[in-house]
Structure 1
Amino acid sequence: MTESTTTLRGGHAPAPPSPAEIRAERRRLIESVRALRRLLDGRRAFELADRRRLNRQARDRERAEAACLKTLQRVHERRLRRERSLARRLNGLDGKREHQERHALTVLRRESVENSLRATRLTTNDVNGIGAGLIRDLAAAGIRTAADFTRVSWGKAPGGKGGEVLYIHRPHGRKVHINGIGEHRGRPLMEWRRAAVARAKARAPQELPADQRHRIAEIIEAERARLQAEAAELPREADAAREEAVRLRTEALSRIAGAAREAGRAAAERRAEFDAMAERLIALQAELAAHRDRYGDAGRRLRRAQTRALRPLPAVPAPRTPGAPAGAAEPGSGSGEGTPADDPWAVGAPGTHVRASLAWLLPVLLFALFTVAGVGELGDTTPPLWLRVGSRLTALAVTAELLRLWVPRRRPRTAGPMPPGTGTQTTAMFLALVAAGMFGSGDPDVRVAAWVTAALSALLLATGTGRRGKG
C-alpha cells in the first residue's frame, strides 16, 4: 500500500495522512478492485465457452470415429455381398455350360431342319391331286418347298364373297388361297409337309460337334478364370478401402487434435491471465481491508462501495479436462448429487452437450390430452363442474411447466438434463389426475383404489419436490 505520509527530518515519526488523503487512497483501491472485478466478470462466460469448445471437439472426434466405423462396416458388407455373388456365379458355370450346349444343339437342329425343308421341293409326284398347273400357281404364290408354308386353315373367301375357302399359311404370317386347292388337296399337302419335317428331324444332328463343344468350354473356362480373379482381388480392394477409411479418420483426428492444442494453449493463456487478475484482486482486497482497519471509516459515500469491493470472488465453472468424458464430474464439484442416475427422465449432466430426452414429449402430449378431454368424463359419467375445470387447469399448468423446463434444455447453447425430481413430480401429477377421475366417477367400488392412488401421488410429489430443492 502506498503511504500518503511524509517523514519528518531528525528521525521523528511520520505525520498521519489527512482525511482527504485517506479518502483518495481508499477511492483508488476501490476503483482498482472494481476495474479488476469487471475484467473477471468475463471469466464465467469464458469457462462456459471453453467447455462448449471441448464438447464440440469431443463430438467431432466421435463423428470421425463413427464415420470410420460406418465406412468399415459398409466395406465388410460389400465384400460379403460380392463374395456371395461370385460364388453363386462360379457354382452356376457348369449349369450354364450345359444350357449353352443345349441351346447350341437346338439352334443347330433347327437350322438343319430348315435347310432340309428348303431342299425338299414340291413336285407333281409328291402330292396326289396336284398337277403341274397347281404347282405353277403355288410357285407364283411363293410356295415351292416344304419350308414355304406351315399349315392350312379354312376361312372366308377373299372379298367376303362366296363360302369358306382353304388358306395356306406362309412362315411370316401371310396366308394365300390357291384356286383349285380345297380340302381334298389341302390334306395331302399337309401330310407331305409333315412327312418332310419328320425326315428332316430324323436326319438332324443329335449332339454338338466337337469343335462347338470345345468353343463353349473355352468361353466357360474364360468366364471362370475372370470370376476367380475378381474373387481373388476382393480382399485387396477391401484392405485398400479399410486403409483409406483409417487414413481419413487419422487425418480428421490429427486435424481436430491440432486445433484442440492451439485452442487449449490460447485457453490456458487466457486462464492464466484470469488467475493473475484474481490474485491481484485478492491482494487489492487485502490492501483495502488493511487500509480500512488502519484508518477506519472513510465516509458514508465510500462505505457501500467499500463493502461491494470486499465481496468474495464469484464461483466460476471448473475447467474440464479435454480427455474426460462429457458427463464426468469436475474436480471439486462434490459427490455427484443430482446426476442423471437420480432421475430416470434425466439425460447427461449439466453443462454437457447432451440434451434433454425426447421422451419428455410423451408426458407433455398426455397432459395436453387431459387439458382438452379432462379426466373422469368417459362414457355416461359427468363429474362435478369444479372437477372438470380444475383438472383441465391442472393439466394445462403441468404442460406449460414441462415445456418451460424442456424446451431450453433442447437448445444447443443451453443443453442439459431436466432438473432432478421432475420425473417423480410428473408421475405424481398424473396419478393425482387419475385419482381425481376415480373420485369424480361416483363409483363406490373404486373408492379404495382412488384413496391409494391419491396417497401414492402425494408421496411421490413430496419426494420429487425434495429432490428438486436439493438440485
Structure 2
Amino acid sequence: MTDRTAFAQEATPSETRADRRRLVESVRAHRRLLAERGPFEVADRRRLNREARERDRVEARHGKELQRVHEKRVKRERSLTSSLNGLDGKRESQERNALAVLRRESVEQALRSTRLDAGQVNGIGNGLVRDLAAQGIRTAADFRRVSWGKAPNGKGGEVLYIHRTQGRKVHINGIGEHRGRPLAEWQRQALARAQARAPQELPADQRHRIAEIIEEERVRLQAELAEAPRAAEAARAEAARRYEEEAERLAAAEREAAEEAVRRRAGFDTMAEELLALQAELAAHVDRFGDLGLRDRRARSRALRPLPAVPVIPAPRTPEPSPRPAVDLAKQAGAPGVPGAPGVRPGLGWLVPMVFFGLTAVLGPGDDAAAPLWLSISARLASLAVLAELLRLWIPRRRWRTAGPLPAGTGQLAGAVFLALFSASMFADPEHAAGGAPWALAVVSVLLLLAGTTRRAGSGRPGETSD
C-alpha cells in the first residue's frame, strides 16, 4: 500500500482534491445504496404479515373443510339411523299394500267372472242383455255405477246413464229407474261377495319375500352406517393431506423469501461497514490535508452525516409446516360433558321465524290499525326481544369455529311466543273473542312455554340438543 506520508509529500493540490473527491463520491454512493434499507425492511415486514395472513387463510379453509366433513357424516348417520328405525313400519306398510293389491286383484277377478245373464236382474231380459253387451257391459266389472242426466240429444228430460269402468257413460234404451236400480244393486251385491271372499291376509311366501327384502335393506343400511365413519375419516385424511401440501408450499416459499431477506440484510450490513470505513478514511484525509474550500466542506458534511437508523422488525424465521391434527368431532360428541353433536350448525330454516318476528316488530300484530295500543306496543317489544335472542343464538353457531346446535327448547319457546301473539290478537278482535279458538291457542302457548323452559333448563346435560 502507498505510504500516506510519502503521498502527502509528493501529491500535488489537484491530486489531493481528486483523492478527496473520490472518497466523497464513494461515501455518497454507499449512502444512496443504504437508503434502500428502510423501504426493504418495511416491505419485508409486509411480507411477513402477508405470509401470516395466508397461513391463517389456509388454516381457516382446512377447519371449514373438516367442519363440512363432520356435518356430512352427522347428517348421513342420522338419515341412516332414521331409515333403520323405520324398517319395521316399512315392512308393515309393504305387507298392507301387497294385501291390498291381492284383494283388489281377487275382487276384480271375481267381478269379471260374474256375468250378466237374463233373469238375474229384475226386468232385464235377453234383449237388454244383448244391448248391454253391445256397449261393453257383460260382467259386474264392466261398470261402476248408474246416475241420472240429460238425454244425449237434449230432448226428453233426464235419462239413466251407466258409467262404464273403461270408457264413457252410456244410456241403454229401455233401462230406466225401475231397471237401473236393480242393476246397480246386482253389481253391489257381486262386489260385496267378492270382497268377502277376497284373502284377508298375505300368503306365507309373499310375507317371507317381503321380510327378505326388508332384511336385505337392513343389512345394506347397517353396512352404510358402519362405512360412514370410515368415509369421514378418509375425507379428513384427504383434507389433512391437502392442508399439509399447502402448508409445505407456503413454508417453502417463506423459507426462500426469508433466505433472500437474510442475504439482502447481510449485504446492507456489509455496505454499512464499508461506509463507516470510507467515512473514517475521509476523516483521516481531512486531518492530513486540511480544508480544501467551501465546496469541499459542504460535500464533506453531507458525506459524514450519521447513518440512518435501521427500522426494528421481527427477527427473520424459517417456518416449518405445522398441520393441525384432524380432530374427530364425532368422537367428541360422545365425550362426557359435551352437549349434543358439536359442530352441527343450525339450519337456514330458522330465518323464517326470525323474518316473522322482525316483520311483527316493525308492522305490528295482524291488523295493527284495529289493535289496541297496549297490544301493538307489547307485541312489538316481545317480537323484538325474541328476534334479538334468536339472532344471538343463531349467528355464532353458523360460524365454523363456534358451530353447534341451538339450545334445546328454542323451537318451543319461539312457537309459544308466536301462538301467544296470535292468541292476543284474536282476543282483541270482537269477532273471535267470544269463541274458543283464542283460549285453545293460549293454552297451547302456555304448554309450549313450559316445555321449552324445561328443556332449556336441562340443556346443560349431555345429549341435549335443539329441536
TM-score in terms of structure 2 length: 0.65
Is 1:177–2:174 an aligned residue pair?
A: no
Q: 2:210 aligns with which of 185, 193, 216?
A: 216
Residue 52 (structure 2) aligns with: 58
Q: 2:201 aligns with which of 198, 204, 207?
A: 207
SS in structure 2 of the partner of residue 168 of structure 1: strand
SS in structure 1 of the partner of residue 119 of structure 2: coil
1:324 is displaced (CA, Å) by 11
Residues 120 and 145 in structure 1, CA contact (< 8 A), matched pair in contact too: yes
Residues 255 and 318 in structure 2, CA contact (< 8 A), matched pair in contact too: no
Residue 276 (structure 2) aligns with: 282
Query: Which residue identity does 2:232 align to in structure 1?
Result: A
Distance 1:104 1:322, change over 3 A: farther
Residues 142 and 165 in structure 2, CA contact (< 8 A), matched pair in contact too: yes
Distance 1:49 1:136, change over 3 A: same
1:19 is displaced (CA, Å) by 3.5
Equivalent residue runs for 1:48-447 within 5 Å: 48-322=42-316
Please identify, of 281-290 and 193-202, the stretch whose mean Cα deviation from structure 2 is larger. 281-290
Equivalent residue runs for 1:9-28 within 5 Å: 15=9, 17-28=11-22
Please identify, of 75-84 and 288-297, the stretch whose mean Cα deviation from structure 2 is larger. 288-297
- Aligned counterparts of 2:59 and 2:169: Cα–Cα separation in 1: 75
Please identify, of 115-124 and 51-60, the stretch whose mean Cα deviation from structure 2 is larger. 51-60
Residues 117 and 145 in structure 1, CA contact (< 8 A), matched pair in contact too: yes
- Which digits, 9 at most, give the CA deviation of each residue in 1:419-456, with x for residues without a partner? xxxxxxxxxxxxxxxxxxxxxxxxxxxxxxxxxxxxxx
Residue 361 (structure 2) aligns with: none
1:308 is displaced (CA, Å) by 0.4
- Which digits, 9 at most, give the CA deviation of each residue in 1:117-173, with x for residues without a partner? 111111122111111111111111111111111111111111212221111110135
Residue 29 (structure 1) aligns with: 23
SS in structure 1 of the partner of residue 201 of structure 2: coil
- Which digits, 9 at most, give the CA deviation of each residue in 1:74-131, with x for residues without a partner? 1011000000000011101111110110011111111111110111111122111111
- Aligned counterparts of 2:253 and 2:122: Cα–Cα separation in 1: 103
Residue 437 (structure 1) aligns with: none
- Aligned counterparts of 2:194 and 2:256: Cα–Cα separation in 1: 91
Query: Which residue identity does 2:57 align to in structure 1?
Result: R
SS in structure 1 of the partner of residue 161 of structure 2: strand
Query: Which residue identity does 1:31 align to in structure 2?
Result: E
1:64 is displaced (CA, Å) by 1.6
SS in structure 2 of the partner of residue 159 of structure 1: coil
Residues 4 and 21 in structure 1, CA contact (< 8 A), matched pair in contact too: no
- Aligned counterparts of 2:303 and 2:315: Cα–Cα separation in 1: 32
Query: Which residue identity does 1:64 align to in structure 2?
Result: V
Residue 454 (structure 1) aligns with: none
1:4 is displaced (CA, Å) by 5.2
SS in structure 2 of the partner of residue 239 of structure 1: helix
- Aligned counterparts of 2:24 and 2:317: Cα–Cα separation in 1: 41
Is 1:6–2:6 an aligned residue pair?
A: yes
Residues 4 and 17 in structure 1, CA contact (< 8 A), matched pair in contact too: no
Residues 117 and 196 in structure 1, CA contact (< 8 A), matched pair in contact too: yes
- Aligned counterparts of 2:5 and 2:92: Cα–Cα separation in 1: 119
SS in structure 1 of the partner of residue 146 of structure 2: strand
SS in structure 1 of the partner of residue 9 of structure 2: coil
- Which digits, 9 at most, give the CA deviation of each residue in 1:8-50, with x for residues without a partner? xxxxxx7375433432222111111011111112212222222
1:2 is displaced (CA, Å) by 6.2
Residues 137 and 143 in structure 2, CA contact (< 8 A), matched pair in contact too: yes
- Aligned counterparts of 2:149 and 2:74: Cα–Cα separation in 1: 63
Query: Which residue identity does 2:205 align to in structure 1?
Result: D
1:3 is displaced (CA, Å) by 5.3
TM-score in terms of structure 1 length: 0.65
1:270 is displaced (CA, Å) by 1.6
- Aligned counterparts of 2:213 and 2:29: Cα–Cα separation in 1: 90
1:177 is displaced (CA, Å) by 0.8
SS in structure 2 of the partner of residue 48 of structure 1: helix
Query: Which residue identity does 1:304 align to in structure 2?
Result: R
Distance 1:105 1:308, change over 3 A: same
Residue 41 (structure 2) aligns with: 47
- Aligned counterparts of 1:243 and 1:318: Cα–Cα separation in 2: 41
Query: Which residue identity does 1:281 align to in structure 2?
Result: L
Please identify, of 53-62 and 110-119, the stretch whose mean Cα deviation from structure 2 is larger. 53-62
- Which digits, 9 at most, give the CA deviation of each residue in 1:348-373, with x for residues without a partner? xxxxxxxxxxxxxxxxxxxxxxxxxx
1:52 is displaced (CA, Å) by 2.2
Query: Which residue identity does 1:47 align to in structure 2?
Result: E
Residues 149 and 168 in structure 1, CA contact (< 8 A), matched pair in contact too: yes
SS in structure 1 of the partner of residue 6 of structure 2: coil
SS in structure 2 of the partner of residue 146 of structure 1: coil
**Over alpha carbons, which structure has the higher Rg?**
1
Please identify, of 137-146 and 59-68, the stretch whose mean Cα deviation from structure 2 is larger. 59-68
